[in-house]
Amino acid sequence: MPTTVDVTPTLDIETRLFINNQFVNAVDGHTCKVLNPHDGSLLCEIQEAGTKDVDAAVAAARNAFPAWSKMPANERGKLIYKLADAIEADREYICKLESLDTGHPIRDTYNLDIFRTVATFRYMAGIADKIDGRVVQVDPGFHNFVLRQPVGVVGSIVPWNFPMMFVSWKLAPALAAGNCCVMKPAELTPLTALRIAKLAQNVGFPPGVINVIPGRGSVAGQHLAEHMGVDKIAFTGSTPVGRKIVQASSTNLKRVQLELGGKGANIVFDDAPLDAAVGGSAFAIFHNQGQACIAGSRLLLHEKIADEFLEKFIKLAKSIKQGNPLDPATEMGPLTSAGHRDKVLSYSKVATDEGGKILTGGKAPNREDLAQGYYVEPTIVEAKPNDRVCQEEVFGPFVTVTRFKDEAEVLKIANGVIYGLGGGLWTNSLQRAHRVAAEIRSGMVWVNCYKRVSPGSPFGGVGESGYGRDMGVESIHDYTDAKSIWINYDAQIPPFYKR
């Protein structure tokens, strides 16, 4: 990427709703401010979807569904491939837009997020014509086979922390399986979702197949989840909101897929590759300012290596370069909103009130150039397993440290939270790696790495981290219904009706 990013030209930002292949204003005329988290300045005001806009988007999707679902699967795949190519070609613009909107450093959006986004669209484009059913062995004279058919209209609600990437995680498998989509991006960070809608329009997606309606969760999100015309809700966000989604979905018993909160245990054993564990653990919690549901936010250290590890880890944390996310040298940007920054900072007092010790950070950086932004220093807190900071999802650059003696103790600590999204461990023992990974209660486990994802690998959790999966063939199953078809090819008459 270039050594500097030119931000002087005015960006051509789309601020309207995208319904039935057209950009339109909200019916009620409501707008929402989108701020730059680096300095609090106004980026733009976007149209904010209300219930009437949700109704229009759902109607467009319902009208488009018959033709889209019957389109040859390879043709659907070709369109998704074209969208992937268009996003890749738009790399310079869309990555700048993502960094401006979210605070995520350009080095990450440009070198990581964009490629994950494109890769997901391409993977799902390739799987579109490979969605197979199966034949079931049944009684002689009968043939039974199972079709996988699209569920219909999917309402996707995506969060503000990785908005560009999450668009691909929700949109790509739904489209590949033959569904039509109404996507509600977070009102804080809607800009790249609207940009992708524009690119989809350019490459020729039919009207109504993709609809993007930024709006508040309490209005647009609630109405989408309740809507009788929606067949499935795919939601990524907090556990409390996930519960509300489930309740709202009961109107028509629509299918629900939830990827919710996490409190990942990141275990470092005494035989771990220490330098790799230090660097990997920093990535696990400080990447994207810790605003990740899979963050390794609970660092569990074997007592034999804890002091040596912490010396290196604290030194690394203090060296992380904070600054303008559009500066390619920046390693950590601001949190996405002022309210969220204040919430994260409040946990420093929570920690000390319960006897925890702040080893570094715990406050906003004392720098004039960052004073107007939503910055928090990388924070490391030593705390007990049952302390609030070890149980509640902070969702920031805030990691707790707890020491342990043996496997039995650390597994009890690791599994002692309500969440079960991701977890990790560092060890040079192959036997321990398999043994402990199998015992960690979570949907994903990383060994000698953390936060690795791939379009072919299922992503999701257990417990209060939700259910259903993004990505992989498992996601295709979540976007299709299994239909069992029986054929009596001998035209047999059931014995009890023979005359």
Catalytic residue among 32, 95, 293, 390: 293
Q: Residue 491 has what pLDDT?
A: 80
* Domain-embedded: residue 66: yes
Rounded Cα gap, residues 468 and 150, in angstroms: 16
Please confirm, yes or no, whether 449 is among the known catalytic residues.
Answer: no
Q: What is the 3-state composition of the chain as percent helix, strand, coil, each rounded to the nearest 5?
A: 40, 20, 40
Q: Residue 11 has what pLDDT?
A: 75
Same domain, 254 and 292: no
* Domain-embedded: residue 458: no
Same domain, 296 and 368: yes
* Domain-embedded: residue 367: yes
Residue 9's pLDDT band, with cuts at 50, 70 and 90, is very low
Catalytic residue among 14, 187, 226, 259: 259
State the CATH number of the domain containing residue 198. Answer: 3.40.605.10
Q: Please, what is the end-to-end C-alpha distance for the chain in angstroms?
A: 81
C-alpha triplet 439, 440, 443: angle, nearest 5°: 120
Q: Per residue in 42-66, pLDDT tens?
A: 999 999 999 999 999 999 999 999 9
Same domain, 421 and 477: no
Q: How high does pLDDT run on average in the chain?
A: 96
Judge whether residue 1 has pLDDT over 60: no
Q: What number of other Cβ atoms are within 10 A of residue 28's Cβ?
A: 14
Q: Per residue in 322-337, pLDDT tens?
A: 999 999 999 999 999 9
Q: Are 297 and 393 in contact (CB under 8 A)?
A: yes
State the CATH number of the domain containing residue 352. Answer: 3.40.309.10
Q: Per residue in 216-227, pLDDT tens?
A: 999 999 999 999
Same domain, 47 and 176: yes
Same domain, 294 and 254: no
Residue 496's pLDDT band, with cuts at 50, 70 and 90, is confident
Q: Are 142 and 220 in contact (CB under 8 A)?
A: no
Lowest mean pLDDT among 262-271, 300-309, 365-374, 482-491: 482-491
Same domain, 295 and 179: no
Q: Residue 74 has what pLDDT?
A: 98
Q: Could you give the C-alpha distances from 3 to 6, 36, 73, 331, 392, in angstroms and in order? A: 10, 21, 42, 14, 39
Same domain, 78 and 156: yes
* Domain-embedded: residue 7: no
* Domain-embedded: residue 41: yes
Cβ neighbours of residue 104 closer than 8 Å, sequence gap 6 or more: 98, 113, 162, 288, 289, 325, 333
Q: Residue 111 corresponds to which tokens in the numbers above? A: 């070198």
Same domain, 207 and 347: no
Q: Per residue in 89-116, pLDDT tens?
A: 999 999 999 999 999 999 999 999 999 9
Q: Residue 11 corresponds to which tokens in the numbers above? A: 């960006």
Judge whether residue 6 has pLDDT over 70: no
Q: Residue 267 has what pLDDT?
A: 99
SS3 assignment, position 160: coil
Q: Residue 495 has what pLDDT?
A: 72
Range of the domain at 281: 265-447
Same domain, 220 and 282: no
Q: Which of 214, 266, 231 is nearest to 422 (CA)?
A: 266
Rounded Cα gap, residues 432 and 268, in angstroms: 12
Same domain, 179 and 237: yes
* Domain-embedded: residue 107: yes
Cβ neighbours of residue 416 closer than 8 Å, sequence gap 6 or more: 385, 386
When divided into structural domains, the chain yields a total of: 2
Crossing angle of helices 306-319 and 274-286, in 10° steps, is: 50
Query: Which amino acid does the sequence have at 499?
Result: R
Q: Residue 499 has what pLDDT?
A: 65
Residue keyed to tokens 């600054």: 323
Same domain, 173 and 288: no
Judge whether residue 369 has pLDDT over 50: yes
Q: Are 334 and 372 in contact (CB under 8 A)?
A: no
The mean pLDDT of 314-320, rounded to a whole number, is: 98
Residue 8's pLDDT band, with cuts at 50, 70 and 90, is very low
* Domain-embedded: residue 325: yes
Please confirm, yes or no, whether 293 is among the known catalytic residues.
Answer: yes
* β-strand partners of 142: 488
The mean pLDDT of 238-266, rounded to a whole number, is: 97
Same domain, 246 and 273: no
* Domain-embedded: residue 460: no
User: Could you tell me where the beta strands, DSSP code E, fall in 313-387?
Assistant: 357-360, 379-382
Q: Residue 493 has what pLDDT?
A: 77
Rounded Cα gap, residues 165 and 350, in angstroms: 32
Rounded Cα gap, residues 388 and 399, in angstroms: 12
Residue 409, classified by CB atoms within 10 Å of its CB into exposed (0-12), middle (13-18) or buried (19+), is middle
